[in-house]
Homo-oligomer: A and B are copies of this chain.
Amino acid sequence: MSMTFFTPGPAQLYPTFETHLQTFVNNQLGSISHRSQQYRDLHKFTVDQLRILLNVPDTHAIMFLGSASEAWERIIFSCVELESFHLVNGSFSKKFCEYTTALNKYAHTMEKPMGSGFTAAEITVPEYAELICTTHNETSSGVQMPVSEIHKLKQKNPDKLIAVDIVSSAPYPDLDYSLIDTAFFSVQKAFGLPAGLGVWIVSEKCLHKAEYIRNQYSIGAHNDLPTLWKNALNNETPSTPNVMGIYLLGKIAEDFNKIGVKTIRKETEQKAALIYKFLEKTSGFSPFVKEKPNRSQTVIVTDTEINSADIIKKVKEKGMVIGSGYGSFKATQLRIANFPATSTEQVEKLLSELGKL
């Protein structure tokens, strides 16, 4: 039976994935040299499509890593000489913070419980923190930080660099890159692709910071920012990249651009509204995140009255896969991804089955 995946990543593959994969295979693109013009054209196509989709200005490079987690490390290496500041309200924002500690830098934190969000007004960034680390969408708890709050936070702290984790929300958040120094995502979430590729959007300011830090501390050896940047200017990567992933990402981004990112964002909000409305009115369910502006539009988390494993099992029998709660919430919550790969009809079918439980 063919299943529909509402899991928060790896997730449902985008409907055009198979066609693009077949083109990749037919054109033998898995064998081309990563130092050839053919590769550079492929690379440039993907960067150009992402630049249009996410409205990334020329002050920022778009680069490829093995995963979004690798971006955490490269950002700390490149943007933090001594101290960073992390907004922590879930497992992934916590991991970003732990990466800082593992690199022997000092991580200031402002912590809130799972399910809570942050507003710019309540945040005081410590004086010596060089980088503010924010998570637009906490995949573990289904909390989003509104883009307007992220922008305000930077406007309040113009001398600090700001990093935004958009792993499980891009291309939904409409970030203003004149305010955002760096952001990153992976392809197995809203882009509906198999995992194995991270995308790092990074400004010249971060590059200059990395070059400055390099005079005194190591900024890493593999995919260090100045080397990545130099290669990106030539539409290349320092080592052999995931060419298949980069190709497929370019084609999906092109598909998104044909639909229009505004339409994709609107459809995301409409589907999210359907799901939250269902959870609010249906007994046995209630949205985990209480404050509406903090409710994620792409990863929706609900408390469940009965053991969520039973719900997952019953829904699976109907051909749909939903995610369990994260960590200690495994048995008492569900996580429902709302990415472009799942249509309104598929969401309605899911809610219909959940309603019959």
Smallest beta-carbon distance A71→chain B, Å: 9
A residues 63-122 touching B (CB-CB < 8 Å):
65-70, 72-73, 76, 98-100, 102-104
Which of the 9-residue segments A53-61, A155-163, A193-201 touches chain B?
A: A193-201
Which of the 9-residue segments A30-38, A140-148, A280-288, A293-301 touches chain B?
A: A30-38
Judging by beta carbons under 8 Å apart, are A5 and B21 in contact?
Answer: no
- Tell me, in angstroms, the Cα distance from A186 to B34 when the chains sit together: 14
Smallest beta-carbon distance A289→chain B, Å: 22
Residues of B within 8 Å of A103, CB to CB, are 218, 220-221
Taking the complex as formed, is A137 at the interface, i.e. its CB lies under 8 A from any CB of chain B?
no
- Residue from B66, B193, B219, B241 within 8 A of A65 (CB atoms): B66
Judging by beta carbons under 8 Å apart, are A13 and B33 in contact?
Answer: no
Judging by beta carbons under 8 Å apart, are A221 and B102 in contact?
Answer: yes
Smallest beta-carbon distance A237→chain B, Å: 9
Taking the complex as formed, is A222 at the interface, i.e. its CB lies under 8 A from any CB of chain B?
yes
Q: Interface size on A (CB < 8 Å)?
A: 59
Known contacts A218-B103, A221-B99, A239-B67; decide if A245 and B196 are in contact (CB<8 Å).
Answer: yes
Contact with B along A189-207 (1 / 0, CB 8 A): 0000111110000000000
- Residue from B33, B195, B220 within 8 A of A102 (CB atoms): B220
Taking the complex as formed, is A304 at the interface, i.e. its CB lies under 8 A from any CB of chain B?
no
Taking the complex as formed, is A350 at the interface, i.e. its CB lies under 8 A from any CB of chain B?
no
Residues of B within 8 Å of A344, CB to CB, are none
Judging by beta carbons under 8 Å apart, are B222 and A99 in contact?
Answer: yes
Residues of B within 8 Å of A17, CB to CB, are 30
Residues of B within 8 Å of A104, CB to CB, are 217-218
A residues 1-52 touching B (CB-CB < 8 Å):
2-3, 5, 7, 9-13, 17-18, 21, 25, 28, 30-34
Known contacts A76-B221, A221-B73; decide if A34 and B102 are in contact (CB<8 Å).
Answer: no
Judging by beta carbons under 8 Å apart, are A7 and B33 in contact?
Answer: yes
Taking the complex as formed, is A244 at the interface, i.e. its CB lies under 8 A from any CB of chain B?
yes
- Tell me, in angstroms, the Cα distance from A69 to B100 when the chains sit together: 22
Q: Which B residue's beta carbon lies closest to that of A12?
A: B31
- Residue from B21, B31, B197, B223 within 8 A of A10 (CB atoms): B31
Judging by beta carbons under 8 Å apart, are B195 and A242 in contact?
Answer: yes
- Tell me, in angstroms, the Cα distance from A193 to B33 when the chains sit together: 13
Residues of B within 8 Å of A333, CB to CB, are none
Smallest beta-carbon distance A242→chain B, Å: 3
Residues of B within 8 Å of A252, CB to CB, are none
Judging by beta carbons under 8 Å apart, are A10 and B33 in contact?
Answer: yes
Which residues of A approach B to under 8 Å, CB–CB?
A: 2-3, 5, 7, 9-13, 17-18, 21, 25, 28, 30-34, 65-70, 72-73, 76, 98-100, 102-104, 186, 188, 193-197, 217-224, 238-245, 321, 323
Known contacts A31-B321, A67-B239, A102-B221; 17 additional CB pairs below 8 A are: A5-B28, A17-B30, A18-B25, A66-B242, A67-B241, A69-B222, A69-B238, A70-B222, A73-B220, A103-B221, A194-B242, A194-B244, A195-B240, A195-B243, A196-B196, A196-B242, A242-B245
Can you spell out 5 A-B residue pairs with CB atoms less than 8 angstroms apart? A17-B30, A33-B323, A67-B222, A67-B239, A194-B243
